[in-house]
Structure formats: C-alpha cells, structure tokens
A and B are shown apart, each in its own frame.
Chain A
Amino acid sequence: MKAARFEHHEPETVGEAVSLLESLDELTILAGGQSLIPMLRFRLARPDTVVDINGIDDLDYLREDDGYLKLGALARHADVQEAAVVDERYGSFVDTAPLVADPQIRNRGTIVGSIAQADPKGDWGSVLIAHDGEVVARGPDGDRTIPADELFLLPYDTSVEDDELITEARIPVPDEREGSAYHKLKRKTGDYAMAGVAARVRLDGDGRIEDAGIGMTAVDITNARASEAEAHLEGERPSAEVFEVAGDLAAEESNPESDEHGAAAYKERMVSVLAQRALGDAADRAGVTKRRATP
C-alpha cells in the first residue's frame, strides 16, 4: 500500500526543523524511517507533513565529548558497529547494535529514532536506562535534557513535546571499573525482542558493586528499569548467586503479556535468565577494563 499524501520538508538546520515543528500540525519526523515508513504505508500514521531531518548534517555524529558518549539524531545502528570510539568499555552498545533488525535496516535506522519511537520492544531504550542516559530535546525555548526514567510514558509515547526534536541521546562515559552488556531473546534475525535485558555494573576498589543499572525490553508497556534488582546488587561482590537473586527480582518487576511468542510466565523466567547472563558479562567486562588500564 502507498502512504497517504503528505508534504515533505527537508530542513537543513535544527533551527529550521524546530520552526517547522512549531508552525505545523499533524506532522511526523522522519530520520531512519525503518519503523515510520511501514507505518505510513499501512496508514497507521497519516500525517499531513513529514519533516525529514536527514539533511541536517549537524546531527550526524557519534563521539565522546564532555564526559558523555553522544549520539546525534542521525547516528545509525551500523555506525555503532563501525565507530572506533565504541570499544569494549561500551559492552552494551557492542552487544546491542548487531542484534537490531538486519544489516540493511541497521544502515538506515537511527538510535535516537528508535528511542523516540518508544516501542517497548525497542532495544536502545533499555540500554539508555541501564546507563542512566538522557536525551537532549530542542524546542522553541532551547535545549532541555530528559533522563531516561522520565522519557518513556506509554507505548509509542514519550515526554518529548510536539514542538521538540530529540537532537541527541547520551550516556556518561563509563568508569574504568565499569562494564555493561545486552542479552536479547528472539526467534530469528530481524525479529523484535521477545525479552531483552541491558545491564551495567561499576565496581569499587574492593571489587564490590557500587552502582548497577538494569533496563528491560519488551516485558512492560515501556522499556523499564528493574530498580529492586539494582538495589540488591549494590554493595555485593559479583557472583552467580547474587546475580540469580537479582535476575529473579527483575523478573518479578517485569510485566510481560502472553502472546504468540510465549506465555507471560515464560517471559518472566527469561527476564531472570537474560539478566543473569547480562550481569555476568557486565561484571567480567568491568574486570577486563580494569586490567586493561594497567598495562
């Protein structure tokens, strides 16, 4: 099916884009388009106007700056796979990018677009949560930052206003004793997650967990944080036993629905398993990073 007719705008600056958002109604923002274009074609979305931001060169970046890893609105999934800056310190990014859809879609789809889409089955929202990340939204009054915990409201709904454009997603550059990972369960390449867990741990000088972050995919109405599991980890030494308790707590905090991919009880069980695996990898990587720092 063809998309309904729309007016196509191609702003060249963020300022132009925000002016368009301010002055027009019934519009949608086109970045990678890998979720949006099918929605337009099946007329699940029928905006009058499409604001295509692909011509805004200023938004095409992926870099460390000012203590953050910053991903501009045009950074593609494939960029994460290719960028030298995304090394083993960013284990969750290294894990996640190749698990998103398939190679063709990763060449086009953007991380920020995936976050803005706020599909509870999207992978990057969980990574953003696990890293205590945030997005930067530009509106008529300038920039504001929105922490991951305040971003996701409902499926496909965020706290970003209609006249705001997310220009950037960012996470703090991990500490030397920090590691992260992402584990995703899906039936085959290209599928959305049946369940997914992003985990991050930071160890103190004594080898105890001083900070942990856990984000969950596809098991609630939005990407969700497993706060009780995080709290359980703090102060503990990494071990299979500790991770098992944390995994079970995360499973209790999740709220999956039964569907053609599996029963809710099964998905909860998988949350626990995926969380344990992600925490194990994250802890290993926290150790690896530490060793790497002392040649």
Chain B
Amino acid sequence: MTDEREITLTVNGTDRTLEVEPRKLLVHAIREDLDLTGTHIGCDTGNCGACTVLVDGEPIKSCLSFAVQADGSEVQTVEGMEELPAAEGDLHPLQEGFREEHGLQCGYCTPGMLMSGKALLDETPNPDEDEIREAISGNLCRCTGYQNIVKSIEYASEELAETPAAADGGAVTPDQRFDDGDDPADCETGCGCRGTTGRGGDSDTEGTST
C-alpha cells in the first residue's frame, strides 16, 4: 500500500525518472524530487496559482494533481523559460517584460504568472487586455494590483511579434539558440551585462521603456 511508483516526466525538455508514492502531489515532486524550487506553493488550497506549470502545454495547478497523473507528460516550469528559443539564450521576453514593466514586487506569484502568461501567448500571440486578465485570473498577486503584470505580458507579446522566427515552437536557427550575445566575452567592458548586443540588437524598442 505504501509502494512507490516509477514515473517519467519530460521536464523542460529532459526526461526525468523518479519514484513517487501515488499520494505525492506534482508540485512536491517538482520541488522536492527534482529540486526545481522555482515552482512555488502559495496557498495549499488550489486558489493562488503560484504552483502553475504547463503539462502538455496546458496550464494547471500542480498542487491539484498527483505526480503519477503526469506520468509520460511534458512538464514546463519556470526554470525552462530561459531555454526556450524565444529567450535566445537570455531571459525569455516574458521574463524581460516583468523586469521592464515592474511586473513583480515580492516575486512570489511570478513563476505562476509567467507560466500562465506563456500558455496565453502560445495560443493567442496578440491578446487584448481582457484576454490577459482572464488568462491570469487563476493567479493571485498581493503586491502589484495586476496593472504591471498586464503590461509585462503585453510587452512580451510585442517582443515576440517582432521576432516571429524565434517565437516558441517556431523555426530556430543555430544563431538564435546559441546566440553568442550570451557569452560574457563578447562584451569587453567587463560590466557583467552578458553582452547586450545579443538579444534585442534587432529591436527598435529595446531600452526605450526604461
């Protein structure tokens, strides 16, 4: 009755096999067994959405699913955002948007917001404000009042529209995947900027919002 089951999850593109009790929640498997603590537990009741992850592309609350139910599924967590093609080796446009538009204060809800935002933009690349508010309606934020979160997602939508080839799921060139802007050596000032010529060099709006 206490036996563990072997399950395999494809987490952020990598197959991970783990042994779990059937009663273990997906969020606990992600945080405790896989050590991916970016996925947060906010409320423990299914209300707050901090634990939102994508399972086979759909946003779900990982505190409302047992890990065994995700066996054989693809799971995306916030840790995988930077590895997506649209991130071009740096922050994903959504993450960048939250930074540029002050979409977070304490940051606790942010991983869930990012995953809900990602699910929205995958389906609806140019959402209007109502669609954004609807998409994040299962995610609670007690700091921002949501205004800047909406702006952050709008920012990402515009960024992704400007680099359509790099949109997630789109064609990815080796240039984009292994963008050498990621290499600190490219920036010789030693400023720690990780080579800002990398992403956004092709973007007219880069930097204008700060």
Q: A5-B2, A37-B66 are in contact. Are A104 and B52 (CB under 8 A)?
A: yes
Does A68 make an interface contact (CB < 8 A)? no
Asked if A239 is at the interface of the complex by the 8 Å CB criterion, the answer is: no
| B24 proximity list for chain A (CB < 8 A) | 2
Contact-residue bracket for chain B: 20 to 34
Is the CB–CB distance between B23 and A34 below 8 Å? no
By DSSP majority rule, is chain B's interface helix, strand, loop, or mixed? Answer: mixed
Set of chain A residues within 8 Å of B49, measured between Cβ atoms: 102, 104
A105 and B135 form a contact (CB under 8 A) = no
Give the contacting residue for A104; candidates B1, B61, B69; CB below 8 A: B61
Closest residue of A by beta carbon distance from B135: A103
Q: Which residues of B contact A101 (CB under 8 A)?
A: 138
Separation of A101 and B138 alpha carbons in the complex (Å) = 8
Closest CB in chain B relative to A252 CB, distance in Å: 34
Known: A8-B5, A50-B22. A102 touches B64 (CB 8 A): no
A52 CB within 8 Å of chain B: yes
Q: Is the CB of A37 within 8 A of B65?
A: yes
- On whether the beta carbons of B1 and A5 are closer than 8 Å, the reply is yes
Cα A169 to Cα B58 in complex, Å, equals: 25
- With A189-B137, A189-B138 known as contacts, the answer to whether A107 contacts B60 (CB < 8 A) is yes
Whether B23 lies near A108 (C-beta < 8 A) is no
Docked pose: A41 CA to B66 CA in angstroms? 11
Interface: A40 (CB within 8 A)? yes
Known A-B contacts A104-B52, A104-B60, A105-B64; A3 and B23 likewise in contact (beta carbons under 8 Å): yes
**3 nearest CB pairs, A to B:** A102-B138, A8-B22, A189-B137
Give the B-binding residues of A (Cβ under 8 A): 1-8, 33-34, 37-38, 40-41, 48, 50, 52, 54, 78, 98, 101-105, 107-108, 189-190
Contacts from B to A (Cβ < 8 Å): 1-2, 5, 21-25, 28, 44-47, 49, 52, 58-61, 63-66, 68-69, 116, 119, 134-135, 137-138
